[in-house]
């Protein structure tokens, strides 16, 4: 590149070089996730070019890095960025998504939960994203799927409980989010929508951290080295609702493990299975807003409605 160019929104001014980068893709897309971070899979031989401009941690100095595409999902892609990871939301995603996830992670950081630390938020090559710590490349889902044993189930349940032990102060309200999504969900008639909202109002609210998308593909590492990713939908609410959300996700991806998970969580925490499944109608109905058309019939059945 030669000649002068205009400064970009992150301060790459005249005389500073912004390199074109070729990112060799390694993609793994789980069967139900909206986004995936750092979940390595088989190389499909896809490559792409992307220009990334970002201020480094010292402030003011533009830098670029070259890295692989580590993970891809419906809403975002995650790239290597030096020793860090860059999560880029799709061009169609709202700007607010990147700031929301960064804000959630900032709140969770002070709770000493095993989450990536945020380093920057900004616009990269026309897409908004979050620069964060890179998590271990090993994905817990590999063990969870291949071994299908009680040990993996219990590890996941214990990790989920550790999230729910933390206060959710500062995070968005789970009840408000469910209500808003039910109100805009497609495929619901007025009577069904009203019934679901009334049913939601009868359920007990809570004040604990809820992940909002907790499943094996959002867990990386093992043992004491676990890291949990994809906190866009983190909220403050009742942990049993969060477990029910995991049940809905597993019910689609691994139906034979879904109820096992609910029972294992109930056993570990002294909760009632019925208390978890009481959240099923509103949780399933709220997922109708997530653009998962292949699940809609199943979600309507789980919500107690006939597709």
Q: DSSP class of residue 307?
A: -
- pLDDT score at 225: 86
Q: What is the mean pLDDT of each run of 10 residues along the chain (307 residues)?
A: 36 33 29 41 36 46 62 89 93 93 96 95 90 91 85 95 98 98 95 98 98 96 88 98 98 95 98 98 97 94 88
Q: Among positive and negative, which fits the CA dihedral 198, 247, 288, 231?
A: positive
Task: Give, to the nearest 10 degrees, the angle between helix 174-184 and helix 280-287.
Answer: 60
Cα separation of 57 and 62, whole Å?
10
Cα separation of 207 and 32, whole Å?
27
Q: Is 118 helix (H, G, I), strand (E, B) or coil?
A: strand
Nearest-CA neighbor of 284 among 266, 274, 276, 296? 296
- pLDDT score at 14: 37
Cα separation of 220 and 226, whole Å?
6
Burial of 239-251, coded b for 16+ CB within 10 Å and e otherwise, reads: bbbbbbbbbbbbb
Nearest-CA neighbor of 81 among 13, 11, 18, 23? 23
Residue ranges and CATH numbers for the domains of the chain are: 21-133 (3.30.200.20), 140-302 (3.90.1200.10)
User: By 3-state DSSP, what share of the chain in percent is helix, strand and coil, each rounded to 5?
Assistant: 40, 20, 40
- pLDDT score at 65: 52
Cα separation of 113 and 104, whole Å?
12
167 C-beta neighbours (distance < 10 Å), count: 11
Nearest-CA neighbor of 131 among 59, 78, 73, 92? 78
| Whole-number Cα distances in Å, 20 to 13, 16, 106 | 16, 13, 31
Contacts of 267 (CB under 8 A, 6+ apart): none
Residue 284 Rama label (left phi>0; alpha psi -120 to 50; beta): alpha
Q: Is 221 helix (H, G, I), strand (E, B) or coil?
A: coil
């Amino acid at each position: 590149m030669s000649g002068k160019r205009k400064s970009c929104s992150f301060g790459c001014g005249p005389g500073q070089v912004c390199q074109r980068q070729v990112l060799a893709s390694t993609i793994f897309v789980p069967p139900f996730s909206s986004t995936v971070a750092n979940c390595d899979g088989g190389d499909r031989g896809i490559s792409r070019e992307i220009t990334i401009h970002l201020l480094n941690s010292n402030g003011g100095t533009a830098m670029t890095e070259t890295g692989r595409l580590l993970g891809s999902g419906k809403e975002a892609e995650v790239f290597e960025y030096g020793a860090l990871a860059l999560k880029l939301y799709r061009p169609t995603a709202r700007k607010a998504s990147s700031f929301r996830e960064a804000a959630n992670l900032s709140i969770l950081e002070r709770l000493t939960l095993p989450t990536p630390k945020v380093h920057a938020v900004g616009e990269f090559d026309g897409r908004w994203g979050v620069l964060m710590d890179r998590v271990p490349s090993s994905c817990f889902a590999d063990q969870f799927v291949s071994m299908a044993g009680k040990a993996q189930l219990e590890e996941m349940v214990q990790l989920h409980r550790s999230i729910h032990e933390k206060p959710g102060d500062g995070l968005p309200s789970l009840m408000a989010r469910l209500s808003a999504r039910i109100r805009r969900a497609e495929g619901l008639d007025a009577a069904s929508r009203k019934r679901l909202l009334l049913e939601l109002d009868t359920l007990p609210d809570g004040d604990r951290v809820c992940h909002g998308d907790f499943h094996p593909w959002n867990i990386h590492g093992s043992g004491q080295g676990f890291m949990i990713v994809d906190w866009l939908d983190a909220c403050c609410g009742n942990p049993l609702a969060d477990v029910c959300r995991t049940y809905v996700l597993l019910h689609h991806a691994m139906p034979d493990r879904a109820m096992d998970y609910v029972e294992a969580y109930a056993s570990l925490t002294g909760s009632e299975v019925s208390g978890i499944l009481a959240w099923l109608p509103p949780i399933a109905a709220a997922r109708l807003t997530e653009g998962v058309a292949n699940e809609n019939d199943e979600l309507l059945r789980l919500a107690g409605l006939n597709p």
